[in-house]
Amino acid sequence: MKKQRIWCGINMAAISMCMAMMNPADVWAGYESLGGPGLTEGQYVAIAEEAADIYVSMDSYDILRTAAAGECFPILQDEGGGWMEVKVGDTVGYLSAEKADVQKTEVFENSPEAKAAAEAAAAQVQAADSSSLRQHIVDFAKQFLGCRYRYGGSDPRTGVDCSGFVRYVMQNAAGIAMLRSSGTQATQGRAIGADQMRPGDLVFYSQGGGINHVAIYAGDGQIVHASTYKTGVKMSPWNYRQPVRIVNMLGD
């Protein structure tokens, strides 16, 4: 283990800056617990210098999560032996001092690293929120598997066609207003490539030169869509027909 670099005199500003997801009360809760080997009274942050595993405990190989380079975490306790107990969201983990730089607020809060850490934390929150919404759209759509197909239908409980299904799901799962036909829906959102496709994106198909079908990408190479009178709402491979347009409606 490399020699730990622990300084004194840290205040709350660095913690709140680098951990946008934390409740300020959680930070103060650990204030009185500081004082382990090599640690004097105060608040400290550990900044990952490279991708670093944060462990469930110091004597376990179970990984709580892997921190990206530049991420930072409030230190709750210097455990000695090159280990720090750090705050990770709503729980705690253990990070090796070999993988992190530890700084006091006076050094950290006005540094370029602090700005980068704050931006990384905000991006992480945004990505988590986006991923959660996308999965919600897919889960919402899947609950209607087996519902009947009805041309012009707009409610899965009574029957839907492809665009009616997409319109119902996007409105009720994500609050996104869609136009009525697959052709007009294809004019909404931002066109993306197949390599950028994520759950919740819309996939359009054509026949005879015009767009005539739309589906919701569900991940793992599958779509969920109101297919035919025979099958109703079902899952299919996303490329069961050649897509002509893929659209991101979420703006992320």
Tell me the C-alpha distance between 184 and 47, whole Å.
48
Task: Give start and end residues of each alpha helix (H) in the chain.
Answer: 12-18, 24-29, 105-108, 112-142, 162-174, 182-185
Burial 10-21 (b: 16+ CB within 10 A, else e): beeebbebbbbe
Q: Measure the CA angle with vertex 137, ends 132 and 204; round to 5°.
A: 125
* CB proximity list for 76: less than 8 A, separation 6 or greater: 30, 33, 34, 85, 86, 87, 92
pTM attached to this predicted model: 0.55
Question: Does a structural domain hold residue 169?
Answer: yes
Tell me the C-alpha distance between 225 and 234, whole Å.
6
Do residue 97 and residue 141 come from a single domain?
Answer: no
Do residue 157 and residue 236 come from a single domain?
Answer: yes
Tell me the C-alpha distance between 40 and 78, whole Å.
9
Residues facing 4 on adjacent strands: none
Do residue 147 and residue 244 come from a single domain?
Answer: yes
* CB proximity list for 67: less than 8 A, separation 6 or greater: 48, 51, 52, 53, 54, 73, 95, 99
Determine the structural domain holding residue 39 and report its residue range: 12-110
- What is the CATH classification number for the domain harbouring 24? 2.30.30.40
Do residue 61 and residue 167 come from a single domain?
Answer: no
Closest Cα partner for 141 from 248, 250, 225?
225
Question: Does a structural domain hold residue 119?
Answer: no
Contact between residue 224 and residue 215 where contact means Cβ atoms under 8 Å apart: yes
From first to last of its 252 residues, the chain has per-residue pLDDT tens of 333 333 323 333 334 444 433 333 333 333 334 445 555 444 788 888 888 999 999 888 899 999 888 787 888 888 888 888 998 888 899 999 888 888 765 566 667 766 776 676 666 667 767 888 999 999 999 999 999 999 999 999 999 999 999 999 999 999 999 999 999 999 999 999 999 999 999 999 998 889 999 999 999 999 999 999 999 999 999 999 999 999 999 998
Contact between residue 76 and residue 87 where contact means Cβ atoms under 8 Å apart: yes
Do residue 226 and residue 155 come from a single domain?
Answer: yes
Do residue 102 and residue 181 come from a single domain?
Answer: no
Question: Does a structural domain hold residue 217?
Answer: yes
Question: Does a structural domain hold residue 1?
Answer: no
Tell me the C-alpha distance between 73 and 85, whole Å.
10
Do residue 72 and residue 140 come from a single domain?
Answer: no
Last residue of a domain, one of 59, 79, 110: 110
Do residue 168 and residue 226 come from a single domain?
Answer: yes
Retrieve residue 225's tokens.
């869509």
- What is the CATH classification number for the domain harbouring 231? 3.90.1720.10
Question: Does a structural domain hold residue 204?
Answer: yes
Do residue 220 and residue 190 come from a single domain?
Answer: yes
Do residue 138 and residue 244 come from a single domain?
Answer: yes
Last residue of a domain, one of 110, 143, 164: 110
CB atoms within 10 A of CB 232: 20
Contact between residue 83 and residue 44 where contact means Cβ atoms under 8 Å apart: no
Question: Does a structural domain hold residue 153?
Answer: yes
Do residue 105 and residue 164 come from a single domain?
Answer: no
- What integer pLDDT is reported at residue 116 of this predicted model? 73
Question: Total domain count for the chain?
Answer: 2
Do residue 186 and residue 96 come from a single domain?
Answer: no
Which helix or strand (DSSP H or E) is residue 198 part of? Answer: none
Tell me the C-alpha distance between 109 and 115, whole Å.
8
Question: Does a structural domain hold residue 125?
Answer: no
Tell me the C-alpha distance between 133 and 223, whole Å.
17
Question: Does a structural domain hold residue 44?
Answer: yes
